[in-house]
Every structure is written in C-alpha cells, then in structure tokens.
C-alpha cells in the first residue's frame, strides 16, 4: 500500500492537486501567523499596554522565529524527503525520515528552551529591547512565558508538514486551526478581563500551541499512508543528514529573516534616537512598534505565498522522483502566476488602505506621530511586495525539486547579503527612512537573480517522452484505483 497510495500525484490534474494540497497549507500557515498577530492586536487595543506592549511584541517576535526556523527545517526537510522517497518507491526511507524528525524536534526544542531561559536578558537586548525601560520590562515578561511553550510550538510546527506528507493536509490544517481558535478566545479574557497584560497574551498563545501539539501527537499514532514502528524512531545518521539538507533552505529563510529583523530593530533604536520626534522618551518606542506591525501584515501575505509553495512540495517531489518533469514545469508556471496575483492584491491593500490597517492595531489610542509614520512604513516598506512573493515561491520550489544548494543560495543572498546589508547601510544616508527603503531595494535585486534561476529551472524541466514512459505504470495504477 505504501508504494502505490500516492500514485495520483503523477496523474491527477495539476490544478486540482494544487487546490487539494496548497489550500490547507495556506490556511495552516495563516492560522499559525495569527498566533503572534492576534496577540499584537489585543495588546495594541489594551490602553494599559499600547505601543509599549506592541514594541515588546516586536522584540520577541524574531526569537519565536528562531524556534520556527529549527522546526520547519526538520518538518519541511522530512516532507521533501518523504515525497521524494515515495516517488522513488522507497517507503522504508520515508518511515525512517518521519521517525527521525519526531526525535530531532523534541531534542532541539529542549535545548533552545534552556538557552532562552538562561540568557533572556542579553538576548532581548540584542533584538532592540532596550529602546526604553518600559519596553524592556514588557519584553522580558512576554518572552518568559512564550519560552515555556516553545517545545509545544516547535513540535506542532514540525509535525505539520510531516502530516501533509503522509497525505493528510486537512488534518494538518485542522490541528493548527484548533490551536489558533483557542488563542483567539483566551486572549481577550486574559488581557481585558483578568488584566494579565503581556503574561496573559503569552499564556493564551502557549495554551493554543499545546492544543496543536496534542493533536499532532495523536496523529502520529494514527498515520494514514506511513505506518511507524519503534525502530523508525532510532536516529539514522544518513537519513537525518539528507532530511536536514532538504530542510536547510527553510531554516535559512527563517533564520536569515531573524538576522534581518535584528538589524532592523537595532537601526530603528539607533536612528530613532537621532530623530527630532522619536528621539523623545515618550515616543521612542513608536518606530519599533510600527515596523513590527508592518512585518505582521507582511507575515500574513507571506503565509499565503509560502502556503502555496509548500503545499506543492509533495506534488513536485513525487513527480521529480517519478521522472515526470513536464508536470513539475506546469506546476511551477501555475505557482508563479498565483504568487504574482497575491503580491498585486497585497500591494493594492497597503497603498490604498494603510490608515485602515494601522487602525486595527490601536492607532486610536496613539499620537498623530504614530499614525503618520505607520502610513509611510506600509507604503514604502512593502512597495515591492510583488517581487517578494515571487522570490519566496522560487526559493521553496527549488527545495521541493531537491535543489537545496540553489534554494539556499537565493535565500541567503536575499536575507543576509541584501536584507541585513541594506538595513545597516541605508540608514547612514537616509536616517530612519533608510530602514524602510531596505526592504524594497533588497526585493528588486533578489528578483533579478531569481529571474535567472527560474529560467534555468525551466530549461531543466523540459519534459521528455522517456520520462513519460517511466511514469506510465504509476498513471495506470492510479486510474485503475480511481475506476474502482
């Protein structure tokens, strides 16, 4: 059963497969993004927290992304490995990868939690938490409780793509949705009714993450396509290395984003202090709070983009393993077109409705300086969001094809060379506005490189009659099963 139960990936129409796999993945990632965004919305609208709480949320956000980076490296690497293995009719390898992924995420989450608890103060300072005393106090409170939930967060996030690879994208979506709904229900209770402040926002988030992790653990005992045994949970060095290599792009795309956010936060702290308005103590936290909000909106957009691309990983991986390159080429074309449409829609929203967006995050409780800087930040920082969407899709699709080196190179260039480089360089010439310019400049230059890589990929994916003949048994098997 394990050798044939996914043959439909080589035969079913590409558009139908994209809908089946990408939509649940998009919803899962959107719901995952809501964890931090919902916290920030409720924090912003609590008058006793306001922009100080928002700034603290912005400081802690990159630290949760570090945990996510490790989790998705394990989960996405396992997802790609499983899909390629099943396409090559090697179910035993797929089982070993899945079992190893579970062990790896448990060990890594324990280590990261210990490090965060031991060095919380210095870590918060590195990410700009010392902009003023109130922001630092809120950051420490929020960070402590979020850290306690890291093992559950990482387990749920790592198992999500693994569950998709097992052929259950709907369950992956539902498990994440259940956790997010828990968070949304508890946030207003803890923040407004109990007035627990930053602790309340964090505890609501952690309880939601526990729900998602519990559902993921339940699924491991009821897998559909891949039945795990005790031996599969013994770490196999060769399988672990291959899994992590396939997931390294996901890790680097997230961890490099952390480096970019650290650079942005520190440049905001440095050049905000030189600004005639934001250099004043009572307004010092505003730029950090605002840029954090803009990043949260961008996170929503990228959740859709990554969801589309990550949802295509099993489809691309299986067809690459089966030699059906012409189907992978069609999938790439459809994916790039869809990602461009998402980017255009996002661009229209940020350019036409920035006041409405910032209003969601408590602008009514803030000064006019808060609103004016927020409008500028939305319009400038995200003015090249179309390119950002296409770039991200290219990175992930290459990973799905097994092109880990090219995918990693593009991701590193975007986030480290350009993202960190321009965030550090441009403020020296343009002050606080230079931080906002760093995003569009990075996306334009990355798009030029991505274009070259995409064209090369199209040439590599030119379908051949020989590939179609190799895939014919899988197609006939799927059709026979569908007819029954």
User: What is the per-residue pLDDT across 14-63, written as a single tens digit (0 to 9) for each?
Assistant: 888 888 888 877 887 787 677 668 888 899 888 888 788 989 988 998 89
pLDDT of 340 reads: 95
Mean of pLDDT over the chain: 86
Task: Please tell me the distance from the alpha carbon of residue 454 to that of residue 22, in angstroms, as a whole number.
Answer: 21
Task: Please tell me the distance from the alpha carbon of residue 235 to that of residue 369, in angstroms, as a whole number.
Answer: 55
pLDDT of 6 reads: 60
> In the predicted model, what is the mean pLDDT of residues 298-314?
86
Task: Please tell me the distance from the alpha carbon of residue 33 to that of residue 299, in angstroms, as a whole number.
Answer: 7
Residue of higher predicted confidence among 271 and 318: 271
Task: Please tell me the distance from the alpha carbon of residue 328 to that of residue 312, in angstroms, as a whole number.
Answer: 10
Q: What's the count of helices (H) and strands (E) in the chain, helices before strands?
A: 20, 0
Segment 272-305, tens digit of pLDDT: 999 999 999 889 999 999 998 898 889 889 889 9
CB within 8 Å of 379: residues ≥ 6 apart: 350, 351, 354
Task: Please tell me the distance from the alpha carbon of residue 90 to that of residue 76, in angstroms, as a whole number.
Answer: 18
Segment 126-141, tens digit of pLDDT: 998 988 899 999 999 9
pLDDT of 471 reads: 42
Residue of higher predicted confidence among 315 and 384: 384
The DSSP line for 442-483 is HHHHHHHHHHHHHHHHHHHT---HHHHHHHHHHHHHHHHHHH
Does pLDDT of 358 surpass 60? Answer: yes
Contact 309, 393 (CB under 8 A): yes
- Give the distance between the most distant pair of CA atoms in the chain: 74
Q: How many CB atoms lie within 10 A of CB 364?
A: 11
Segment 343-352, tens digit of pLDDT: 999 999 999 9
The DSSP line for 11-33 is TS-HHHHHHHHHHHHHHHHHHHH
Task: Please tell me the distance from the alpha carbon of residue 110 to that of residue 113, in angstroms, as a whole number.
Answer: 5
Tokens representing 51 are 């922009």
pTM of the model: 0.76
Segment 73-87, tens digit of pLDDT: 999 899 888 877 877
Phi-psi label, residue 128: left if phi above 0, alpha if psi -120 to 50, beta otherwise: left
> In the predicted model, what is the mean pLDDT of residues 372-400?
91
Contact 160, 75 (CB under 8 A): yes
Contact 58, 49 (CB under 8 A): no
State the pLDDT confidence band at 147, using cuts at 50, 70 and 90. Answer: very high
pLDDT of 447 reads: 94
SS3 287: helix
- The end-to-end CA distance of the chain, in Å, is 15
Residue of higher predicted confidence among 459 and 151: 151
> In the predicted model, what is the mean pLDDT of residues 448-475?
68
CB within 8 Å of 305: residues ≥ 6 apart: 339, 342, 343, 388, 389, 392, 393
């Amino acid at each position: 059963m394990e050798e044939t139960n996914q043959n439909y990936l080589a035969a079913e129409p590409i558009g139908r497969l994209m809908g089946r796999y990408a939509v649940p993945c998009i919803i899962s990632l959107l719901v995952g993004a809501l964890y931090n965004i919902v916290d920030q919305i409720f924090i912003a609208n609590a008058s006793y927290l306001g922009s100080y709480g928002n700034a603290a949320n912005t400081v802690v956000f990159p630290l949760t992304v570090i945990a996510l980076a490790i989790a998705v490296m394990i989960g996405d690497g396992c997802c790609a490995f499983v899909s390629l293995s099943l396409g090559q009719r090697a179910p035993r390898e797929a089982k070993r990868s899945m079992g190893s992924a579970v062990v790896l995420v448990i060990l890594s989450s324990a280590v990261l939690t210990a490090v965060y608890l031991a060095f919380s103060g210095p870590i918060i300072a590195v990410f700009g938490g010392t902009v003023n005393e109130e922001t630092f106090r809120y950051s420490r409170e929020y960070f402590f409780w979020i850290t306690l939930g890291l093992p559950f967060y990482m387990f749920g996030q790592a198992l999500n793509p693994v569950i998709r690879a097992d052929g259950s994208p709907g369950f992956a979506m539902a498990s994440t949705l259940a956790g997010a709904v828990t968070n949304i229900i508890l946030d207003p209770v803890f923040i407004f009714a109990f007035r627990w402040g930053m602790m309340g926002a964090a505890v609501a988030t952690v309880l939601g993450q526990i729900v998602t992790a519990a559902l993921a653990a339940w699924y491991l005992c009821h897998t559909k396509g891949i039945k795990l045994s005790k031996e599969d949970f013994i770490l196999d060095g060769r399988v672990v290395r291959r899994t992590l290599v396939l997931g390294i792009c996901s890790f680097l795309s997230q961890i490099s984003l952390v480096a970019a956010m650290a650079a942005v936060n520190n440049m905001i702290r440095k050049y905000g202090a030189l600004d005639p308005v934001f250099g004043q103590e009572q307004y010092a936290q505003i730029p950090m709070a605002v840029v954090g909000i803009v990043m949260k909106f961008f996170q929503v957009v990228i959740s859709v983009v990554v969801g589309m691309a990550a949802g295509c990983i099993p489809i691309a991986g299986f067809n690459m393993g089966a030699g059906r390159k012409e189907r992978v080429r069609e999938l790439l074309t459809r994916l790039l077109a869809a990602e461009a449409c998402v980017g255009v829609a996002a661009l229209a929203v940020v350019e036409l409705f920035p006041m409405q967006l910032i209003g969601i995050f408590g602008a009514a409780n803030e000064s006019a300086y808060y609103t004016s800087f927020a409008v500028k930040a939305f319009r400038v920082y995200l003015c090249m969001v179309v390119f950002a969407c296409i770039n991200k899709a290219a990175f992930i699709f290459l990973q799905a094809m097994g092109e880990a080196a090219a995918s990693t190179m593009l991701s590193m260039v975007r986030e480290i060379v350009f993202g960190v480089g321009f965030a550090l360089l441009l403020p020296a010439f343009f002050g606080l506005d230079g931080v906002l310019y760093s995003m569009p400049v990075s996306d334009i230059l990355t798009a030029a490189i991505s274009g070259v890589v995409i064209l090369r990929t199209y040439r590599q994916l030119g379908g051949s009659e020989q590939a179609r003949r190799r895939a014919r048994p899988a197609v006939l098997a799927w059709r026979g099963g569908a007819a029954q």
